[in-house]
Chain A
Amino acid sequence: MLDARDIRVSLAGTPVLQGVHFRARPGQVTTIVGPNGSGKTTLLRAMTQEASYSGEVTLDGEDISRLPGWQLAARRAVLPQASRIAFPFTVFEIVRLGLTASAEAAQESRVSEALDRVGLAGFEGRFYQELSGGEQQRVQLARVLTQVWEPIGAEGARWLFLDEPVSSLDIGHQLEVMSLLAAYAQAGGGVIAVMHDLNLTAMYADDIAILADGRVLRQGPPSAVLTDSLLSEAYGCAVRVNAAPAGDVPFILPHMASIS
């Protein structure tokens, strides 16, 4: 269980998060949604100690700011939004970095296994810098996966923190990656993802926190959060939640004529 209480972050004097409460349970995909500048990424950065915050973040009851770096690294992995690499490392070398931080004594074949999972089998020898943005994003995901490969470790559930994990992916790979994350959660791991795409969120999230102006408007299951009024309030435009004829999964269409 990850629990963030009364998180406040100011960047250059401007309050970005104003007392956010957020929690995520292992076994679920928890997404953070909201308009640009609502504080989604800042919340993720606070929970991963990249931004200095006031408030408290606990992982299974332990204050994460008191846990040593190597212990945290064994329990949670963090996928950044975009990553540039300083030197001409190969894909294998990048993914292997995750392995060295892992608590598991795994073979290097794990690297190929992870690449296979993100749809990049055979990319080991390629130079990271020469890949497309979407491929780079999936290499980083493979690195993060090798770091916390088993969803449950000796010390409890392992966690994936992801900042827009599918932002540069095409629709096929978006579904592939989201299914992978859902499977990780199903196996007992915790998944926390900042998401832009409300439809993917509707399809894969078990729990959604919707942010606006540095506050959580609501956190709960998709049925409670993905409502016309809440989404319209958060995003400042009229939206209507619909269900596709074939199933009961909601989908969202913006109503262009009525931007408030």
Chain B
Amino acid sequence: MLVLSGLLVLTSVASLTTGASGASLWKALTQLVQGEEISLRERVILFDIRLPRLIMGILVGAALAVSGAVMQGLFRNPLADPGLVGVGAGAGLGAISAIVLGSFLPLGMQASLGYFMVPAAAFVGGWVSTIVLYRIATHRGRTSVAVMLLGGIALGALTGALSGILIYMADDSQLRDLTFWGLGSLAGATWDKIWLAAPLIMLALAATPFLARSLNALALGEAPAAHLGIPVQRMKNISILSVAAAVGAAVAASGGIGFIGIVVPHLLRLLIGPDHRFLLPNAALLGAVLLLAADMISRTIIAPAELPIGIVTATLGGPFFLWILLRNRSLLDL
């Protein structure tokens, strides 16, 4: 945990000093730390572009990784990810609707929503689909994880089809917007977006330490967990709502960023074991570190242009995930 905290500080500093405008910012940063004046240009880049991006990266990375760990614990399946509760698909549909249908809204509304329209629609879409799925899976006050899993597939197909219809209707520039949104990026990070996303993510993350013991017990199964005195239904409610809030806010702010939610908890289980009391806080740290690292790669690899971060996480995450699987087959068998 100490190691990871240190890593986070290092990547944060690296992230602040990396980017399209050149390396002079390292100097600016050292000057700033020593209390010297820095130029307006450097100040703007540092505080209005890099810093919000850094904070958003930390928030989104932590949100995705912790949500992944919570979902895997809840579904008792190491391959579960936040997408399973329908957040991803619903948020995607929301975003696509906003991009394609947004132009049909009255101009006044378009103007007032401005560039918040897409994130807001994504958040609402994610939240609504989670609630719908949750209602489907809950019968007589008991939420069936299996029904939720299968219902999620059905609901995902349905929202996918609706998204498909909208994509079919879209024009070329909208298609470009859609594709980029789907690949995810931290480039759009602003203080305004942080003020919207941060409270939701922080609130959800703050709830997770209370889930750790319950998630450990849940590994035995739902009935044994109940016999250990765990209020199983209540912890399911808290987990699903927290994940929907955290991932909904993360996806709304930065688009679809894959693999953090699966790779980070996995890697940590191999390093420090599956105990959620240590897994959850470490997942927050490692998720933030990895997303910042991926963001630096996305910014520098084809500089001055930017590669969408979703491409980076998938290109690195996919093979890495396979490597973990191949190395640890025996431990992953359920």
16 further A-B pairs in the complex, CB-CB below 8 A; given A93-B216, A97-B220: A49-B226, A69-B229, A69-B230, A73-B228, A76-B227, A78-B227, A83-B220, A83-B221, A84-B221, A84-B334, A87-B274, A89-B216, A89-B273, A90-B273, A101-B227, A101-B228
Contact across chains for A69 and B219 when beta carbons are under 8 A apart: no
CB nearest to B227 among chain A residues:
A78
Q: A6 to nearest B CB, angstroms?
A: 22
> Which residues of A in the span 86-100 have a Cβ within 8 Å of any Cβ on B?
86-90, 93-94, 97-98, 100
CB nearest to A101 among chain B residues:
B228
| Cβ contacts under 8 Å, A85 to chain B | 219-220
Ranked 8 nearest A-B pairs via Cβ: A73-B229, A87-B274, A86-B76, A70-B229, A101-B228, A78-B227, A86-B219, A88-B331
Chain A interface, number of residues (Cβ within 8 angstroms):
31
> Which residues of A in the span 177-197 have a Cβ within 8 Å of any Cβ on B?
none
Query: In the complex, what distance in Å separates the CA atom of A100 from the CA atom of B72?
Result: 22
Q: How large is the interface on B (under 10, 10 to 19, 20 to 34, 35 or more residues)?
A: 20 to 34
Interface residues, chain A, with chain B CB atoms under 8 Å away? 48-50, 69-74, 76-78, 80, 83-90, 93-94, 97-98, 100-101, 127, 129-130, 147
Contact A89/B330 with A73-B228, A100-B228, A147-B228 known, Cβ cut-off 8 Å: no
Contact A86/B334 with A72-B229, A80-B221 known, Cβ cut-off 8 Å: yes
| Cβ contacts under 8 Å, A97 to chain B | 216-217, 220, 228
Q: Does B42 contact A (CB under 8 A)?
A: no
Q: Does B224 contact A (CB under 8 A)?
A: yes
> Which residues of B in the span 29-56 have a Cβ within 8 Å of any Cβ on A?
none
Can you list 11 residue pairs at the A/B interface with Cβ under 8 Å? A69-B229, A76-B227, A77-B227, A78-B224, A80-B223, A83-B224, A86-B73, A87-B219, A89-B216, A100-B213, A101-B230
Q: Mark B207-245, 1 if CB is under 8 A from A, else 0.
A: 000000100111111011011111100000000000000
Q: Does B275 contact A (CB under 8 A)?
A: yes
Q: A142 to nearest B CB, angstroms?
A: 13
| Cβ contacts under 8 Å, A74 to chain B | 229
Query: In the complex, what distance in Å separates the CA atom of A90 from the CA atom of B216?
Result: 12
Contact A87/B269 with A97-B228, A101-B228, A147-B228 known, Cβ cut-off 8 Å: yes
| Cβ contacts under 8 Å, A129 to chain B | 331, 333
CB nearest to B279 among chain A residues:
A87
Q: Does B77 contact A (CB under 8 A)?
A: yes
> Which residues of B in the span 272-303 have a Cβ within 8 Å of any Cβ on A?
273-275
Contact across chains for B231 and A69 when beta carbons are under 8 A apart: yes
Contact across chains for B77 and A101 when beta carbons are under 8 A apart: no
Q: B327 to nearest A CB, angstroms?
A: 13
| Cβ contacts under 8 Å, A84 to chain B | 221, 334
